[in-house]
Amino acid sequence: MKPDNQANNYEKWCEEWRRRFLTMDQEKLLQKLPGIHSEKEYLTIPYYNSLHGIHRRTGEIVCLESPHPLSLFARLNIYTLLWYCKEHAVPAGEWMPFRNLKDASPFGPAFQKTVIDVFARTFSGHVPELKLACQSLGGEKLPHGDAGYQLFAFPCIPVQFLFWDGDEEFPAQANILFDKNATDFIHVESLVSIASEGLSLLTKASGLSLNGNTFT
């Protein structure tokens, strides 16, 4: 599939999700989804440390802290969170790699290639830049790796980015961990784009360039 056709398909999906949002009970969303609030004409929710708004009447999503348009995947991730979040969903407090999440194993190899491996290559030799990038996105330092930080894709979906730099004998290594119950809040495929978006934001904040092709 050509890249422009692929982008067009994602735009069509966004439009379908926008229409689907308009069929949802917004008051129930406010009750069941952690971190979502009603502010004037918007439902608001943080996404990677920036406040975003879903217009209650049109379903359009905007970043309320920046005039720049959102990526397709940011919008899709917000729509799918609203749709798939289960009532009474709560984090388990148990962390695991993506491949071990419920229903994630078929996507595990692609996740490793397009997210984890790219993460490791991109920040090889750049631990200080990664630390500063994590901090700029509101990351909480973890006692793991040469650089380990917990970021919040959404208030209910924390993501742990872990990195070990390489040396003359071994290449850099990385991992991304999710809460065991992450799939109670969003579709498992959306977690792939959530991780990929986080990596892209970290790379941009660090001033580096992605070393490889990511899912997004």
Q: Tell me the per-residue pLDDT of 51-79, one tens digit each, with 9 for 90 and over.
A: 999 999 999 999 999 887 788 999 999 99
Nearest to 35 by CA among 190, 161, 157, 187: 157
Query: Does any domain span residue 183?
Result: yes
| In a shared domain, residues 108 and 76 | no
Residue 141: its H or E element = strand 140-141
Average pLDDT of span 100-126: 96
Average pLDDT of span 44-50: 96
| In a shared domain, residues 49 and 140 | no
Query: Does any domain span residue 181?
Result: yes
Query: Does any domain span residue 165?
Result: yes
Query: Does any domain span residue 69?
Result: yes
User: Domain residues for 149?
Assistant: 95-206
Asked which of 33, 65, 84 is the last residue of a domain, the reply is 84
Query: Does any domain span residue 136?
Result: yes
In this prediction, residue 3 carries a pLDDT of 53
Query: Does any domain span residue 215?
Result: no
In this prediction, residue 58 carries a pLDDT of 98
Asked which of 84, 116, 151 is the last residue of a domain, the reply is 84
In this prediction, residue 34 carries a pLDDT of 92
Query: Does any domain span residue 89?
Result: no
In this prediction, residue 4 carries a pLDDT of 60
Asked which of 28, 49, 84 is the last residue of a domain, the reply is 84
| Whole-number Å distance between alpha carbons of 76 and 154 | 13
Query: Does any domain span residue 213?
Result: no
- The whole model's pTM is what? 0.93
Between CA 115 and CA 111, with CA 208 as vertex, the angle to 5 degrees is 0
| Whole-number Å distance between alpha carbons of 192 and 215 | 7
Q: What are the backbone dihedrals phi and psi of residue 84, each rounded to the nearest 5 degrees, phi first? A: -95, -15
Average pLDDT of span 77-83: 97
Average pLDDT of span 3-14: 78
| In a shared domain, residues 69 and 35 | yes
pLDDT-based confidence at residue 135 (cuts at 50, 70, 90): very high
Based on the structure, what is the number of domains in the chain?
2
| In a shared domain, residues 11 and 110 | no
| In a shared domain, residues 65 and 118 | no
| Whole-number Å distance between alpha carbons of 148 and 108 | 21
| In a shared domain, residues 118 and 189 | yes
pLDDT at 110 over 90: yes
| In a shared domain, residues 202 and 100 | yes
| Whole-number Å distance between alpha carbons of 166 and 198 | 22
| In a shared domain, residues 76 and 166 | no
In this prediction, residue 95 carries a pLDDT of 98
